[in-house]
Amino acid sequence: IDDFWETLESSIVNADMVYFGGVECWRSTNGGASFAKINGWGEYYGSPATKLHADLPGMNAVWDDGQEILYIATDGGLYRSDDQGASVANISLVNLGVSQYYTTLTTVNDPDLILAGAQDQGYQRSNGNLVGTLHDFDQLISGDYAHLTSWNGGHGRVYSVYPGFMLIQQGESFPTLHTADFPPGESYPWLPYIQAAPSNPNAVYFCARYLYRYDRVGPGTWTPTQLPHDFSGGGGEFLSAIAFSPGDTTRWVGVTNTGTIWYSTDRAGTWTESVNNGPGQMYLYGTAIAASPNDADEFFVGGSGYSSPGVYGSEDGGATWQPKSAGLPSTMVYELAYEKTGSGFVYAATEAGPYQFDPGTEVWSAIAGADAPLTTYWCVEAVPAAGVMRFGTYGRGIWDFDYSIATTIADTPAPVRQLALTNAPNPFNPRTTVRFHLAEQGVASLGIFTATGRLVRTLVANHLPAGDHAIEWSGQNDAGHDVASGVYFARLEYGGQAAKRRLVLVR
């Protein structure tokens, strides 16, 4: 057998039937004297329902329903055979939310239209259907896809990587797919980092020993140009991530696989090495990087935090860096993303779960709570239209963190939950309705505060009856003047208890 040794199984009713699994599945009908493939791994792509995916970590023959059933676990899903491997059926194509997600990209035009790249479960797109309350996805093409990036946040032109080539999607509603080969003779991780060019749907940057710019030169055709700076340091270094400031696209930061950080002030034309180093990369995926949407001088980088800080931040455009890992465990940081509300909050998808960075305290906090799964979180993106940070997990699907959910600030949680403090819409412009519930009549106060605790507007300060209440805030202070865009908090006090909710005003 010309394959890797991985899994061995035999029939429980036929002594001559033996199965072997490696990259592909092999079947013997003569007690192991000879083997034949059930199918070649490449056949899967044309027939995913009836052909085995590559890589078989497990097989199990069981007796059920009066017959022997062979289950074959692959990196692309679970299969069942009722005829001792003569044919197989993929039972993982529907109603199984366990994709191993590397990246998600939600269009700015619709918070429910999501693209996702997964390990072995391919390049996926939400199809608008719901399975219960969950979004259903179609696999557009199988394989490993990551680092989805778009020039304007839409899906009209989306770039991603597969080991060996870039995949380019054209069209948001009716997508078509194209490919472009990686530059030859280069060094990069298994899934190299790419970044769509600012203000240009026809260009994308590719990270290697050199930075490459790919330009669309015709329908379905992209050509790379090598930029002059050598990031290898005369050795094995290569760029593992780049980012530019959304507020000033002349300002760029790049980081290598060993943690060397570079910055540019002329759109990646020339580069200067930073004074400090950052974390090392994740060996197959690269380094996490995020640029502040509000401050052109502010960047974060993240990576291996096992022997040194996993996150560093810069407040001078990348010239110098300081550790920003207080509250974060020693773990791998896969992706970083800013909340797009002007709050300055940063989120991390890590090996240890999802985390939130408070710029006021400069401390990270775990945010998984009791509802989110205990697993690896590989990616995170801001979806301001839905008021959430969207996390992709490695094997447990996609989860949304609602950053405006009420947080309790009293000693006894049960009465606070009864207040049911909510608001909608959120984010809002120019007004939002704050709703709450009082179990009994009593004196209540409801105020709007800035993130630093300064009172902006008193909405309620009197005796209220029991029941549901709805109070509108028009985005004005007590003097009747419009307040600026930003993050505010509604604070409700009643019966010795209090609750607050984050409100996001976007003018």
Give 13-25 pLDDT, tens digit per residue.
999 999 999 999 9
| pLDDT band at 31; cut points 50, 70, 90 | very high
> Which stretch of 38-42, 137-141, 162-166, 237-241 has the lowest confidence by average pLDDT?
137-141
Q: Is the pLDDT of residue 415 over 90?
A: no
Residues in contact with 331: Cβ distance below 8 Å, sequence separation at least 6, in sequence order: 305, 306, 310, 350, 351, 352
What mean pLDDT is predicted for residues 71-98? 92
Q: Is the pLDDT of residue 403 over 90?
A: no
Strand (E) or helix (H) holding 85: none
Domains of the chain with CATH codes: 7-90 (no CATH), 101-402 (2.130.10.10), 407-505 (2.60.40.4070)
pLDDT tens for 282-330 read 999 999 999 999 999 999 999 999 999 999 999 999 999 999 999 999 9
Between the alpha carbon of residue 217 and those of residues 156, 174, 193, 202, 305, the distances in Å are 17, 22, 22, 8, 41
pTM of the model: 0.78
| Nearest-5° Cα angle at 278, 273 to 283 | 110
- Look at residue 76 in the predicted model and tell me its pLDDT: 87
SS3 34: coil
Integer Cα distance of 496 and 440 in angstroms? 13
pLDDT tens for 129-169 read 877 778 889 989 989 999 999 999 999 999 999 999 999 99
> Which stretch of 2-6, 87-91, 95-99, 171-175 has the lowest confidence by average pLDDT?
2-6
Q: Is the pLDDT of residue 46 over 70?
A: yes
- Look at residue 418 in the predicted model and tell me its pLDDT: 55
Q: Is the pLDDT of residue 178 over 90?
A: yes
Integer Cα distance of 51 and 140 in angstroms? 17
Which tokens go with 422? 């909510």
Q: Where are the alpha helices (DSSP H) in 318-469?
A: 413-419
Percent of the chain with pLDDT strictly greater than 90 = 78
Burial class (CB in 10 A: 0-12, 13-18, 19+), 7: middle
> Which stretch of 367-376, 404-413, 498-507 has the lowest confidence by average pLDDT?
404-413
Q: Is the pLDDT of residue 417 over 60?
A: no
Strand partners, 26: 20, 37
SS3 200: coil
| pLDDT band at 411; cut points 50, 70, 90 | very low
pLDDT tens for 202-230 read 999 999 999 999 999 999 999 999 999 99
What mean pLDDT is predicted for residues 86-108? 91
- Look at residue 422 in the predicted model and tell me its pLDDT: 87
Give the residue with greater pLDDT, 441 vs 192: 192
What mean pLDDT is predicted for residues 114-127? 94
Percent of the chain with pLDDT strictly greater than 70 = 96
- Look at residue 251 in the predicted model and tell me its pLDDT: 98
Q: Is the pLDDT of residue 370 over 90?
A: no
> Which stretch of 174-178, 232-236, 295-299 has the lowest confidence by average pLDDT?
232-236
Which tokens go with 148? 């989805």
- Look at residue 452 in the predicted model and tell me its pLDDT: 58
Integer Cα distance of 400 and 380 in angstroms? 9
pLDDT tens for 480-492 read 999 988 878 898 9
- Look at residue 92 in the predicted model and tell me its pLDDT: 87
- Look at residue 413 in the predicted model and tell me its pLDDT: 35
Residues in contact with 253: Cβ distance below 8 Å, sequence separation at least 6, in sequence order: 242, 243, 244, 261, 262, 263, 264, 289, 291, 299, 301, 314, 317, 318
Mean per-residue pLDDT of the chain: 92
- Nearest 5°: phi and psi at 44? -60, -40
Q: Is the pLDDT of residue 96 over 80?
A: no
**Other beta carbons within 10 Å of 260:** 19
Which tokens go with 40? 């070649």
- Look at residue 107 in the predicted model and tell me its pLDDT: 96
**Other beta carbons within 10 Å of 220:** 12
Dihedral over Cα of 386, 388, 389, 392: its sign: negative
Q: Which of 368, 318, 324, 315 is nearest to 346 (CA)?
A: 324
| pLDDT band at 439; cut points 50, 70, 90 | confident
- Look at residue 405 in the predicted model and tell me its pLDDT: 66
- Look at residue 135 in the predicted model and tell me its pLDDT: 87
| Nearest-5° Cα angle at 9, 8 to 11 | 155
Give the residue with greater pLDDT, 372 vs 93: 372
CB under 8 A, 24+ apart: contacts of 336-339: 336/288, 336/289, 336/290, 336/300, 336/301, 336/302, 336/311, 336/380, 337/290, 337/380, 337/381, 337/382, 337/389, 338/290, 338/291, 338/292, 338/293, 338/382, 339/382, 339/389, 339/403
- Look at residue 430 in the predicted model and tell me its pLDDT: 93
